[in-house]
């Protein structure tokens, strides 16, 4: 059985692109048609399909009774079409967001002001897994930038959702595939909205009397329709960690802001933040802090994520309470708040005493205060997702075990 | 999935069962009620209605639940008895989505209309689905907010209807279509279960059920409430009219504005025919002269947001030709004197007008643009927007044409019924595509419809990646049967043309019965995803059966 499947996969993809791994095979199809061929072979053999993105991580905690085909998308790395008139790009899913940015940049185009850490993933990975923070205040949620997707379903059929700026022809069918973590189909390409690179980019740094005041200033500015490309609030301990030697008076907060767009609009947005900060009792401070922050964000933001033990999401009214609860729960905890969008913002929490007890205390504090831990599942929809999968994939070929009860 | 209710329904028992759920006063099987709920505002049904024909499909019963638990009980009953359910909001749909093609129970949601809460910092409003659109916007305005959704049906549509059809308002370029403004939904699924999507965050893994329920037109469940994103009420409004050489130049100007990241609330470009006719009718090109003609339509005071006055109940008497001309001006414009010829030989008229418009009257096309929002940012954005338009060759015509449009923005819906009464028919086709295909789409659909009817168009709802085109067509036929034939041919040829150039067949009116036959071409293999979602949420096929091209 396994040998026969191997022969079929080699016939379909060539020997260079089929590799024996624990539990089965790792295959690297070079086209959407080859993905469809792999899925058909897997379905015939009742093997399971597990898509693997840019991380290349292969799950090994799976039931060994079933043959597993890990489908690496790294060869699906082509830009299929660039429509500069409509600002749309059709790209294969194995391409990393950052690679796509390199293609777009010389043409004065960009995917948008999304976190560099998000763009380090493959397009497929970004789209397949829904987590908060894949967003920017200026360009919205990344999932809303998806105009259409192509995917291979469990029966080997290819689907291409229709591309249109907006539609009223039933549900947005691309959303069946986005966020379903490979359980409905293997994504092969996506049509994404892109943007012209901004004429101007400005940054600014501010000191505020408290985290509460900083959060209030942010929402005051957003309410005035300020549309920044980045915002980050640091508490005093986190600011000390991130900016060597920076000492803020205890309880104070550092706010960094970046704005972009036509020069007048970028200036207007920065001035709106400044006004909001002043209204909340703060003032502008050394712009070099903001320049360093923004440079690091552009370089992948490794500096800020390397000291983070826990990420949590909170809606605007809960943000302050979730922050306070988490800081109180773990001795020596520090935090920055980033990725402000219409849903809320993400708290990045760090502490030195990295024990399971500290983790548990922080998690408990976050959820008790009404925050969300990243990676929670929509449990109440379990039976609906199960039926949806059963209708499309009766033999449970597509990423079995994921998103399941 | 067995299609519901082929077998006869025991109406006496159904009445008893429904009375047990909602009480005797909120269920009806009276003929007058069943007739009312037999149709929505789909123009094709109005043709037969005008001829005095009885409705082809009527519900067996109408219920008016006041609480979700009653909706749950009704859906559970329907599921147990395999009786269809048709959710019904304002009845303003124009595609037959609320027509009970297999009878059953029509659930009117209008008694569930509470505005529960506005969460200030989140800018989210929790509202029940049956709330009327104009009342919703009025309540929000009173508290200093706007939902920013202003369809011309705002007086006669509900929040739930907007969500079920992925509706668009006139200010969609800034605020987005309705699906862009939803944080979460509560619905009773076809399984008879109450369930919430997303909530006010996207922290949960799995597909976005919100985006799968939006646009499902009652085929998956009954939307009972929603958490909608609202904006602070605008502090400033800036409206202006511009003139461009032709459609191509106008589209380029609009594209430059939106792709620069500027977000006017509304941009509308009227094609040559429309602009020409308007300029012949009114020498100054503004709509001010036609104000008297619009007494039927609500004219909102401009400084109070969405809050139009109620229509005058006693409109002046007008002749058929004036009515048609007025109607045409709502979406486009058609001069009174041309109407007779237009209805007789539409293809010829389209061609003549095209020639005149393109070769003789080099008056250009009319473009209306408006911005609104927070004072400081709107001022900056308006200056940038107008400068960009002028850089693209648009000529500033001052504020009057912009304000004139704003004053009359709800007029079109009030111009329809006199036309039907006078023997003609009119409808609108709203398609959309990427910018790259938009010119092809305009030419292809205009040619296709032009074989059967007089056709005019405007471009509205502009986005960074594309735009929608709103075609208005008018025709006539000696009797209802031949009118239906012409009507069907227009839609068949028009939508085929749209699909062939890679556009979508609907930007915001929805599918219903009208576009159901074209869903397979629209979605191709991806239709199987919709079918799978349907199986999951409505395993017994009781929810609004026979719609949207679902099996």
- Tens of pLDDT, residue by residue over A6-21, are 999 999 999 999 999 9
Q: What is the pLDDT of residue B7?
A: 66
By three-state DSSP, how is residue B452 classified? coil
In total, the C-beta contacts within 8 angstroms joining chain A to chain B are: 274
Chain B residue numbers with beta carbons less than 8 Å from the beta carbon of A176 are 207, 212, 529, 532-533
Confidence tier at A342 by pLDDT (50, 70, 90):
confident
- Higher-pLDDT residue of B292 and B414 is B414
Q: In chain A, which residue's Cα lies nearest the Cα of B212?
A: A171
Mean pLDDT within A159-168: 95
pLDDT, tens digit, for every residue of B4-28?
445 688 999 999 999 999 999 999 9
Q: What is the pLDDT of residue A42?
A: 95
Give me the residue label for tokens 């959704």. B149
Confidence tier at B181 by pLDDT (50, 70, 90):
very high
Residue A337 makes CB contacts below 8 A (sequence gap 6+) with: A211, A215, A232, A233, A319, A323, A345, A346, A347, A348
Lowest mean pLDDT among A43-52, B330-339, B432-441: B330-339
Residue B300 in contact with residue B131, Cβ under 8 Å?
A: no
Q: Nearest by CB to A344, which of B201, B436, B536?
A: B201
Confidence tier at B281 by pLDDT (50, 70, 90):
very low
Mean pLDDT within B292-304: 52
Q: In chain A, which residue's Cα lies nearest the Cα of B507?
A: A167
Q: What is the pLDDT of residue B354?
A: 56
Mean pLDDT within A323-347: 93
Confidence tier at B504 by pLDDT (50, 70, 90):
very high
pLDDT, tens digit, for every residue of A222-257?
999 999 999 999 999 999 999 987 999 989 999 999
Chain B residue numbers with beta carbons less than 8 Å from the beta carbon of A198 are 261
Q: Rg of chain B's alpha carbons, rounded to an integer?
A: 23
By three-state DSSP, how is residue B384 classified? helix
List C-alpha distances in Å: B358 to B245, B254, B342, B355, B361: 10, 20, 18, 5, 7
Residue B544 makes CB contacts below 8 A (sequence gap 6+) with: B84, B85, B86, B87, B97, B217, B218, B219
CB contact under 8 A, A165 and B211: no
pLDDT above 50: residue A140? yes
Residues 39-78 of B with CB under 8 A from A: none
How many other C-beta atoms lie within 10 A of the C-beta of residue B488? 14
Q: What is the pLDDT of residue B330?
A: 43
Q: Is A357 on the interface with B (CB under 8 A)?
A: no
Per the document, the length of chain B is 551
How far is the alpha carbon of B369 from chain A, nearest alpha carbon, in Å?
19
pLDDT, tens digit, for every residue of A114-125?
988 899 999 999
How far is the alpha carbon of B122 from chain A, nearest alpha carbon, in Å?
6
Q: What is the pLDDT of residue B277?
A: 54
pLDDT, tens digit, for every residue of B393-425?
999 999 999 988 888 888 766 767 777 877 889
Sequence-ordered alpha helix ranges (H) in A21-168:
32-44, 97-104, 116-119, 123-128
Residue A359 makes CB contacts below 8 A (sequence gap 6+) with: A309, A310
Q: Is A88 on the interface with B (CB under 8 A)?
A: yes
Residue A7 in contact with residue A25, Cβ under 8 Å?
A: no
Residue whose C-alpha is closest to residue B286's, from B368, B350, B207, B231: B368
Chain B residue numbers with beta carbons less than 8 Å from the beta carbon of A224 are 374, 376-377
Report the C-alpha gap between A140 and A120 in whole angstroms.
Answer: 18
pLDDT, tens digit, for every residue of B127-174?
999 999 999 999 999 999 999 999 999 999 999 999 999 999 999 999
Q: What is the pLDDT of residue A359?
A: 93
pLDDT, tens digit, for every residue of B42-73?
999 988 888 889 999 999 999 999 999 999 99
Q: Nearest by CB to B205, which of A88, A129, A175?
A: A129
Q: What is the pLDDT of residue B339?
A: 46
Q: What is the pLDDT of residue B345?
A: 56
Q: What is the pLDDT of residue B405?
A: 87
Q: What is the DSSP letter of B507?
A: S
Mean pLDDT within B469-479: 90
Work out the mean pLDDT of chain B and round it to a whole number: 86
pLDDT above 60: residue A38? yes
How far is the alpha carbon of A250 from chain B, nearest alpha carbon, in Å?
27
Q: What is the pLDDT of residue B6?
A: 52
Q: What are the DSSP E strand ranges found in A194-282?
A: 195-196, 200-208, 230-235, 253-261
Confidence tier at B352 by pLDDT (50, 70, 90):
low
Give the rounded percent of residues in chain B with a pLDDT score beyond 90: 70
Q: What is the pLDDT of residue A32?
A: 97
Confidence tier at B353 by pLDDT (50, 70, 90):
low
CB contact under 8 A, A175 and B189: no
Q: Nearest by CB to A159, which of B383, B384, B525?
A: B525
Q: Nearest by CB to B506, which of A167, A316, A376?
A: A167
Report the C-alpha gap between B497 and B507 in whole angstroms.
Answer: 15
Q: What is the pLDDT of residue B406?
A: 87
Q: What is the pLDDT of residue A83?
A: 98
CB contact under 8 A, B467 and A158: no
How far is the alpha carbon of A172 from chain B, nearest alpha carbon, in Å?
6
Sequence-ordered alpha helix ranges (H) in A17-106:
32-44, 97-104
pLDDT, tens digit, for every residue of A257-298?
999 999 999 999 999 999 999 999 999 999 999 999 999 988
Report the C-alpha gap between A97 and A190 in whole angstroms.
Answer: 12
Residue B299 makes CB contacts below 8 A (sequence gap 6+) with: B291, B308, B309, B407, B408
Q: What is the pLDDT of residue B324?
A: 46
Structure tokens given for B461: 């709802």
Q: In chain A, which residue's Cα lies nearest the Cα of B465?
A: A86
Residues 110-139 of A with CB under 8 A from B: 129-132
- Higher-pLDDT residue of A105 and B5 is A105
pLDDT, tens digit, for every residue of B212-264?
999 999 999 999 999 999 999 999 999 999 999 999 999 999 999 999 999 99
Q: What is the pLDDT of residue B287?
A: 42
How far is the alpha carbon of A365 from chain B, nearest alpha carbon, in Å?
17
Residue B41 makes CB contacts below 8 A (sequence gap 6+) with: B91, B92, B93, B94
Report the C-alpha gap between A17 and B36 in whole angstroms.
Answer: 64
**Exposure letters A186-216 (e unless 16+ CB within 10 A, then b):** bbbbbbbbbbbebeebbbbbbbbebbbbbbb
Chain A residue numbers with beta carbons less than 8 Å from the beta carbon of B265 are none
Of the residues A171, A196, A201, A374, the best mutation for testing chain B's interface (the one with the most B CB atoms within 10 Å of its CB) is A171
Residue B538 in contact with residue B214, Cβ under 8 Å?
A: no
Q: In chain A, which residue's Cα lies nearest the Cα of B256?
A: A85
Residue whose C-alpha is closest to residue B55's, from B111, B21, B96: B96
Q: In chain A, which residue's Cα lies nearest the Cα of B550?
A: A170
**Exposure letters A278-308 (e unless 16+ CB within 10 A, then b):** eebebeebeeebbebbbeebeeebeebeebb
CB contact under 8 A, B466 and A164: yes
Q: What is the pLDDT of residue B50?
A: 87
- Higher-pLDDT residue of A351 and A376 is A351
Report the C-alpha gap between A76 and A31 in whole angstroms.
Answer: 6
Q: What is the pLDDT of residue B301?
A: 55
Q: What is the pLDDT of residue A300?
A: 74
Report the C-alpha gap between B364 and B381 in whole angstroms.
Answer: 26
Chain B residue numbers with beta carbons less than 8 Å from the beta carbon of A181 are 205-206
Chain A residue numbers with beta carbons less than 8 Å from the beta carbon of B529 are 159, 161, 173, 176-177, 184, 392
Q: Is B143 on the interface with A (CB under 8 A)?
A: no
pLDDT above 80: residue A57? no
Residue A374 in contact with residue B203, Cβ under 8 Å?
A: yes
For every residue of A297-336, DSSP letters joined together read: HHTT-HHHHTT-SEEEEE-HHHHHHHHHHHHHHSTT-EEE
Chain A residue numbers with beta carbons less than 8 Å from the beta carbon of B123 are 223, 342
Backbone angles phi, psi at A62, to 5 degrees: -100, 160
Lowest mean pLDDT among A72-86, A95-109, A363-377, B510-524: A363-377
Confidence tier at B316 by pLDDT (50, 70, 90):
very low
Question: Which of the residue ranges B344-348, B421-425, B500-504 has the most confident prediction, judged by mean pLDDT?
Answer: B500-504
Residues 134-153 of A with CB under 8 A from B: 141, 143-144, 147, 153
Report the C-alpha gap between A103 and B124 in whole angstroms.
Answer: 38
Confidence tier at B313 by pLDDT (50, 70, 90):
very low
pLDDT above 60: residue B296? no
Q: What is the pLDDT of residue B284?
A: 40
Secondary structure element (H or E) that encloses residue A382, with its range: helix A382-392
Q: What is the pLDDT of residue B362?
A: 56
What interface predicted TM-score (ipTM) does this complex get? 0.95
Q: What is the pLDDT of residue B48?
A: 87
Q: What is the pLDDT of residue B3?
A: 45
């Amino acid at each position: 059985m396994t040998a026969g499947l191997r022969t079929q996969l080699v016939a379909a993809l060539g020997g260079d692109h089929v590799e024996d791994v624990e539990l089965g095979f790792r295959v690297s199809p070079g086209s959407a048609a080859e993905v469809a061929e792999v899925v058909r072979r897997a379905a015939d053999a009742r093997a399971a399909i597990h898509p693997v993105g840019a991380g290349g991580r292969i799950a090994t905690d799976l039931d060994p009774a079933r043959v597993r085909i890990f489908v690496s998308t790294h060869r699906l790395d082509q830009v299929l079409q660039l429509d500069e008139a409509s600002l749309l790009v059709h790209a294969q899913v194995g391409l990393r967001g950052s690679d796509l940015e390199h293609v777009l940049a010389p043409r004065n185009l960009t995917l948008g002001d999304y976190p560099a850490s998000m763009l380090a993933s493959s397009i497929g990975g970004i789209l397949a897994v829904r987590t908060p923070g894949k967003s920017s205040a200026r360009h919205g949620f990344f999932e809303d930038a998806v105009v259409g997707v192509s995917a291979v379903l469990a029966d080997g059929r290819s689907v291409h959702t229709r591309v249109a700026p907006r539609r009223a022809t039933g549900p947005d069918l691309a959303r069946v595939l986005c966020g379903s973590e490979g359980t409905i189909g293997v994504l092969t390409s996506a049509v994404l909205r892109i943007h012209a690179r901004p004429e101007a980019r400005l940054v600014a740094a501010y000191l505020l009397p408290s985290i509460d005041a900083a959060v209030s200033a942010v929402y005051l500015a957003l309410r005035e329709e300020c549309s920044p490309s980045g915002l980050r609030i640091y508490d005093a301990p986190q600011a000390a960690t991130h900016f060597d030697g920076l000492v803020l008076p205890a309880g104070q907060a550092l706010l960094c802001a970046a704005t972009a767009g036509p020069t007048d609009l970028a200036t207007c947005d920065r001035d709106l933040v400044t006004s909001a900060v002043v209204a909340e009792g703060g003032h502008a401070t050394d712009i070099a802090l903001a320049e360093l922050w923004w440079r690091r964000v552009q370089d992948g933001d490794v500096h800020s994520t390397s000291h983070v033990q826990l990420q949590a999401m909170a809606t605007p009214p809960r943000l302050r309470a979730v922050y306070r609860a988490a800081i109180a729960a773990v001795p020596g905890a520090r935090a920055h708040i980033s990725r402000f969008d219409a849903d809320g913002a993400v708290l990045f929490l760090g502490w030195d005493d990295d024990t399971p007890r500290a983790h548990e205390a922080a998690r408990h504090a976050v959820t008790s205060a009404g925050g969300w831990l990243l990676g929670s599942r929509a449990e109440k929809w379990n039976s609906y997702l199960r039926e949806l999968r059963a209708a499309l994939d009766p033999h449970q070929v597509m990423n079995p075990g994921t998103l399941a009860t | 999935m067995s299609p519901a209710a082929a077998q006869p329904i025991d109406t006496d028992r159904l009445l008893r069962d429904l009375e047990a759920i909602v009480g005797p006063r909120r269920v009806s099987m009276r003929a007058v009620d069943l007739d009312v709920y037999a149709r929505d505002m789909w123009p094709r049904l109005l043709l037969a209605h005008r001829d005095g024909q009885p409705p082809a499909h009527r519900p067996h019963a109408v219920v008016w639940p006041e609480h979700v638990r009653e909706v749950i009980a009704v859906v559970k009953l329907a599921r147990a008895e395999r009786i269809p359910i048709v959710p019904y909001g304002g009845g303003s749909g124009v595609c037959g989505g609320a027509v009970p093609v297999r009878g059953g129970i029509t659930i009117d949601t209008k008694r569930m209309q509470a505005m529960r809460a506005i969460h200030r910092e989140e800018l989210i409003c929790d509202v029940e689905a049956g709330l009327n659109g104009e009342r919703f916007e009025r309540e929000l305005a009173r508290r200093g907010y706007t939902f920013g959704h202003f369809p011309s049906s705002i007086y006669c549509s509900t929040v739930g209807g907007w969500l079920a059809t992925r509706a668009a308002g006139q200010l969609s370029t800034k605020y987005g279509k309705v699906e862009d403004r939803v944080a979460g939904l509560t619905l009773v699924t076809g399984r008879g279960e109450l369930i919430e999507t997303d909530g006010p965050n996207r922290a949960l893994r799995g597909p976005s059920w919100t985006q799968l329920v939006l646009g499902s037109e009652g085929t998956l469940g009954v939307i009972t409430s929603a958490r909608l994103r609202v904006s602070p009420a605008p502090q400033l409004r800036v409206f202006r009219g511009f003139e461009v050489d032709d459609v191509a130049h106008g589209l380029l100007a609009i594209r430059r504005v939106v792709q620069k990241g500027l977000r006017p609330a509304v941009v509308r470009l009227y094609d040559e025919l429309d602009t020409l006719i308007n300029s012949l009718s009114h020498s100054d090109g503004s709509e001010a002269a036609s104000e008297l003609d619009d007494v039927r339509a609500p004219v909102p005071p401009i400084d109070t947001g969405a809050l139009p006055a109620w229509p005058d109940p006693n409109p002046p008497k007008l002749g058929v030709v004036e009515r048609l001309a007025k109607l045409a001006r709502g979406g486009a414009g058609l001069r009174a004197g041309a109407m007779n010829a237009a209805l007789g030989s539409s293809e010829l008229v389209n061609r003549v007008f095209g020639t005149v418009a393109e070769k003789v009257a080099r008056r250009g096309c009319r473009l209306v643009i408006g911005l609104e929002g927070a004072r400081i940012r709107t001022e900056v954005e308006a200056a940038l927007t107008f400068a960009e338009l002028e850089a693209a060759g648009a000529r500033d015509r001052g504020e009057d044409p912009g304000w004139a449009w704003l004053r009359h923005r709800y007029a079109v819906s009030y111009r329809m019924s006199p036309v039907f009464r006078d023997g003609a028919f009119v409808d609108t086709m709203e398609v959309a595509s990427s910018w790259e295909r938009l010119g092809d789409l305009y030419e292809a659909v205009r040619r296709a419809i032009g074989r059967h009817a007089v056709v005019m168009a405007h471009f509205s709802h502009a986005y960074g990646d594309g735009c929608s085109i709103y075609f208005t067509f008018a025709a006539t036929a000696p009797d209802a049967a031949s009118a239906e034939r012409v009507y069907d041919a227009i839609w068949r040829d028009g939508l085929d043309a749209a699909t062939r150039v890679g556009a979508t067949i609907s930007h915001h009116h929805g599918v219903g019965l009208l576009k159901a036959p074209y869903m397979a071409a629209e979605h191709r293999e991806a239709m199987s995803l919709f079918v799978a979602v349907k199986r999951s949420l409505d395993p017994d096929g009781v929810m609004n059966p026979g719609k949207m091209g679902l099996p």
